[in-house]
Structure 1
Amino acid sequence: MTELLAMKCPNCNENAIQFKDWIRARNAFSTRCGNCNIHLKANASVYVSFIITIIATVLLLLYVENALNWFNLNVEISKVKIVLLLPAILLGALLGWFSGGYRVKNSNWQFTAPDATGIKLLR
């Protein structure tokens, strides 16, 4: 189960980040591996799923707004929008998590996992 909830580091092949940390702010796009401390950048799948999520959320927002106006519902529209848009945003986050991954930000230098002598540079 923890394998599903962690994204692998391409350098050390260990769990780089947990989902609960990944979903916060910009960790989905850039982070450091918790094991080898190498700087990681999101691959193209994360960016594509982010763009798809934004487009789907905006389209759903427009649809919800029109539907609420068409039915003449006298409810606080902002609360309804949040309730209806939150599942779309969460589904987009899950799409990014399961389809995405990381790559080493600076591909000229790679760090191996620390050992007794410290971090080794590979070229």
Structure 2
Amino acid sequence: MLASPLPASGEEDGKLMFNNACRTCHSTDAGDNRLGPNLHAIVGRKAAAAEGYAYSSALSRSDFTWTAEKLDAFIANPNAVVPGNNMKPYAGIQDAEQRRKIIDHLRASDGN
């Protein structure tokens, strides 16, 4: 009988969740802007500050720094945090644990 595969670690879960929900538009590699801006070192970065990306006017006018709490709210419902952003048709992730794992992955990929 073959052994069952080991369950994914928390870091692997976060990477998988990021890949499934975010990677189509975003990268965690510095300078790798796609349809959305790169999310490298996002925690602690001022909103709309990734070099080389043309942000929506709504996000460009925002005046905040990305914290884990702000990311959690944004991933849950981007339009509630920054009305008029360019994240459509992305509607958000309602599962708090999934959002936490994605944020943990973003932090780990930044080296923070």
Query: TM-score scaled by structure 2?
Result: 0.26
Q: Which has the higher strand share?
A: 1
Query: TM-score scaled by structure 1?
Result: 0.25
